[in-house]
Amino acid sequence: MKGFRVQAGVYNIFDKTYWNAVGVRDINPNAQTTVNQPTAYYTEPGRTFKISLTKTF
């Protein structure tokens, strides 16, 4: 169909654990604080899927 565009993607296909450097730059996992979050709390999402549809006029 003319004017339609479909895009799809799979992100983090191997479901690896990683951290966004900008998101955790102020976090010190070894610091003794009153809020003790596990380091996994600051990780990025696992495997994700995205589909988008665009129509131009």
Instruction: Report pLDDT digits (tens) over 17-52.
Output: 888 777 676 666 666 654 666 777 778 888 999 999
pLDDT of residue 54: 96
Q: Within a 10 A sphere around the Cβ of 19, how many other Cβ atoms?
A: 14
Q: Which structural domain, as residue segments, surrounds residue 27?
A: 4-55
Task: Decide: helix, strand or coil at residue 50.
Answer: strand
**Distance separating alpha carbons of residues 17 and 19, to the nearest angstrom:** 7
Per the structure, the count of domains in the chain is 1
Task: Report the predicted TM-score, pTM, of the whole model to 2 decimal places.
Answer: 0.51
